Amino acid sequence: MNDTQDLITPGNKLFQKLLLHQKLLLLLATLILLTVPLFLFNTPQPLLRGPESYYHLLQAAEIDLLEWMYYPLHLASSLPQILLVLPLLLGISFTVLFLYFARRVDISPQFTFFFLLFLFLSPSFIYSYTTISAHSFFIVLALASLVLLLSPKKYFRYAAIVPLLAATHIDIFSSLLLFAMIIIVALHLKEKRKEITILVALPLLIAIVNALLLNQPLMQGPFHQENHLVDLLSDFGGLKGISIFTFLLALIGAALTWKKKSYVFLSIFIPFLMLGYIYNTEITLYIAILTSAFAAIAFVKIFERQWKIPNLKQVTFLLLLLGIMFTTLSFYDRISLVGPSTEDAAALTWLKENNDDEGIIFSIPENSYAIEYFSGYPALYYYHNQQHYEAYQAILNATYITELFPLLEENNISIIYINSKVQQQFPADQGLLFLLKNERFKMIHSQNQTQVWMFQEE
Amino acid sequence: MDMKPAYWLIAIVSITLLCRLILAFSVPNFTYESYFHLRQVEHIKETGTPLFVGELSGREFVFLPFFHYFIAAWSFLFPLEILAKIIPNLFIAALPLIAYGIAKKITTHKHAPLFSALITGFLPILFFTNSFTPETLALPLIFLAIFSFLQLKEKKYLYLYILLFLTISLTGLASILIAGLFIYIIVSFVERKSVPAEEMELIFFSLFFFLWINFLFYKNVFINEGISFMWENIPVDMVTQYYPTFSLAEAILLVSIIPFVVGIYVTFRSLFRLHDQKTVFLISFVLSTTLFTWFRFIRFKHSLTVFGIILAILFAEFYEQMYEYLSKTKFHRHNAKLALVIIILLLSTMIPAAISTGLRQDVPGDEEIHAFTWLQEHTPAKAGIAATLKEGHLITYYGKRRNIMDDQFGLVENVEERFADLNSLYTTPFETRALEITDKYDIQYIVVTPHAQEHYDIQRLPSYSRACFRPSYKNQTIIYNVRCTLKTIS
């Protein structure tokens, strides 16, 4: 066998050593990849980022019995340091659980290594496990359920009901995904089928009750302005998504496994996730997991075989890995754009402490969740709630005060919040930013590019 | 046709080159977009690096620099103005040679490939003799890569392909090659023909290397523009100029009717009776350029060029089939006359169109060049100059001043607004509107060339007033000095 061909085959001793210690290496990779953003946020003190994080913190602030899922977050939110560490802990839990799961179902070490490597390097994974994300939590719960269900010990199998119950409280789509995974596991484990069915009955019932009676949403979010291509392929500017290299590898993997019985369990998720993604792009983490799986299959198949041009094999191997890492590095470059910034937190906290007005705050929807969390006042428009969308657009498009003032009064808006993102998106010489020069607007707080304007009554 | 094919080939290449050079030196100056590349070559010659950030405006330029480095290297030996006319024409004149080589791979007839060389040499779409652009290098490299790909079994061609692909990736138009390779895989799959392992490996490598290089150079473009990077951030009003809807008449004119009709015939025939993997490979490029044109993924001009050359190559197959058919009929004694008739028909349809294309190239006149050169000597170094979009590079190259806009649209913020303002400047009758624009972009001079007059159908600036727009240069071109402002001067 030609030595230059032994990249991921047993002939390559370095790679075999990597596989031998892959648990430690992958855990280390998780730790490094997820803690780097904390330093890159470039703030005097680290702050939790992402609109979805603040959405959940707002939900956790006032919980009732039906939202018992938010109780751990409710407790954690009293200590900001724990909030920062929580996503990281979830990320490490994911790694540990998946490694255990892979061992239980006999997934090859090569596939495990490359699947986790591609997944960890995906912006979607890094973003989801550095912010508070329902889907990242769901994946950990789903994995925990599967790991417990596959345990040889009976009591552990019975314990699976806890994460199963918890996992059904995210959204309907996630619940369907969970039960699809369990069905696949049950089909493979004929001897435990009856036990699994009994264990799953209660969570299934709860999921149905959640969906039909408790108005559980089909999918959480969206928490950002959706763009299907950009949200999928991070290289086009998205803050989640996957590398285009991973995507292409996944296409090759899907083509290689098409109509192969042993991979049907993966292929059935393709249409399911595609439809879900078209409806709501917040599920990029699920897409990243599926594409990483297919990409790993393709990668292993391509580089296990003997090439006619051995040198080209090495170069292509390197190109792929470099390309995927390039996406991650490019993502790190942009992650500091994810708000809120320390300035935002300071300005909004100031507002909370110094403003008695009961009105609504107007700003771009990216800021809405942080606005409500830090200031205590509601924002006009949130991405996940389209109720005030028309009013929001009308205010943004107003070019004269005769249009603007009635809109602000109708919607009880007393504060306009401007930060660097608002200034980047809208021109200063026309529209809302220009109209702020009117005497009815008073700047009550300003720090660097952050401004808080009060809209005064006549 | 008793002369060795090699002599005929040399004759074709020589005549092609001669015609091209005559046209290149007869038509004054270069095409408008060439001046951007000339400026880049000069900058590399002075500093060793391309001008990725404009010295005058601070804006970012994104492009692949191999062509510019190549020319810059030679410019140490020869004057750039001469090199810029000769080298691109040398590159394009090599295309008949390459087309001959490819045609030899798909035919067994001794003289059929010569027709491919002849057609390629006089394709009207290739007769932009005064165009100093990376495409003049990229095109022969792409076809040389295709030639090498057809002979991958020989190791030297394998390494040649890799070298060529690396070079094309740093020059431009590699997407055409990638698209063709991709369509080749799909067509082979549909026809249930297996693609040889070494070809698949090379295609994998090509695809991932292409993506990697593009992400290295165009990272910011992808992030800022997303998927619309494919349309180069071109203003909407100009998109139809770069990506026009397919015009059959224009395609026939620029490719010539005989190669067009014959090539389409061979393509359709071969699609339904694919017997040769090499023909499949070439037809994949026909299909990919058609698809890309349909979806407006590449400029019409580029896709038609590749399309034309491929059709020229496929003409050899048509000739061979016709020759074999006639050999079986009672007309077999007239085969030599057939060749002569075809040559006469080809030359009579192609040469006038090619020369016409060459003579009608869109180039600035000498007087316009003089006007832009005047700017360098008579305006402050930091002055902003307004001219039409096409003339933007003349401002930076000859005038050494900042422009409002040129045809490098990548990473230009508010490109629609900027384009609309530029047009407004030449069309608005209102002085305040014109001054609003000059204040906005900090413009001190406005250039109205005969080209601008024709384009906007004006004789002078519509918002002209003696107080605010004083002509500082008056010839066929008028250069107005902006003397008013709407800003409050404290």
Mean pLDDT by 10 residues, chain B (490 residues): 78 94 93 94 93 79 92 94 94 96 90 92 93 95 95 91 95 91 90 87 93 88 78 73 69 76 76 71 88 81 89 89 81 75 87 91 92 93 91 93 86 84 90 91 93 88 84 92 79
d(CA B346, CA B117): 12
Please give the pLDDT value at position B1. Answer: 45
Task: At A132, give phi and psi (nearest 5°).
Answer: -90, 110
Q: What span, in angstroms and rounded, lies between the C-alpha atoms of B275 and B390?
A: 48
HSE value, Cβ hemisphere, 13 Å, CA-based, for A290: 23
Q: How far is A323 from chain B (nearest CA, A)?
A: 6
pLDDT for position B15 = 94
Cα A71 to Cα A77, A141, A169, A172, A189: the distances in Å are 10, 15, 13, 20, 34
pLDDT at A1: 44
Contact status, residue B217 vs residue B64, Cβ threshold 8 Å: yes
Q: How far is it, in rounded angstroms, from Cα B90 to Cα B13? A: 10
Residues of A in contact with B208 (CB under 8 A): 245, 248, 316, 319-320, 323
Best of A312, A337, A425 to substitute, by most chain B Cβ atoms within 10 angstroms, is A312
Low-confidence ranges of chain A (pLDDT < 70): 1-4, 41-45, 66
What φ, ψ does residue A137 adopt, rounded to 5°? Answer: -65, -45
- Structure tokens that stand for A331 in this block: 């993502």
Q: Cα separation of A444 and A454, whole Å?
A: 7
Structure tokens at A5: 């061909």
Across the interface, of A236, A237, A322, the residue whose CB is closest to B212 is A322
Chain A: give the shortest CA distance to residue B206, in Å. 9
The pLDDT value recorded for residue B226 is: 76
Q: Which two structure tokens, joined as six digits, stand for A438? A: 């009117």
Residue A329 at interface with chain B, using a CB cutoff of 8 Å: no
Whether the CB-CB separation of B400 and B55 falls below 8 Å is answered with: no
Q: Is A49 on the interface with B (CB under 8 A)?
A: no
Tokens of B458: 């004006």
Interface test with A, best of B153, B161, B206, B215 (most A CBs within 10 A): B215
Residues in A closer than 8 angstroms to B217, CB to CB, are none
Residue B233's pLDDT is 73
> What distance in Å separates residue A421's CA from the closest CA in chain B?
15
Considering CB atoms only, which of A227, A313, A319 is closest to B209?
A: A319
Question: Model confidence over A75-122: pLDDT tens digits?
Answer: 888 887 788 889 999 999 999 999 999 998 889 999 999 999 999 999
Residues of B in contact with A312 (CB under 8 A): 162, 201-202, 205
SS3 annotation, A37-69: HHHHCCCCCCCCCCHHHHHHHHHHHCCCHHHHH
Token pair recorded at residue A256: 């290689």
In single-letter form, the type of residue at position B298 comes to I
Backbone torsions φ then ψ of B153, nearest 5 degrees? -60, -30
Distance from CA of A95 to the nearest CA of B (A): 29
B207 touches chain A (CB under 8 A): yes
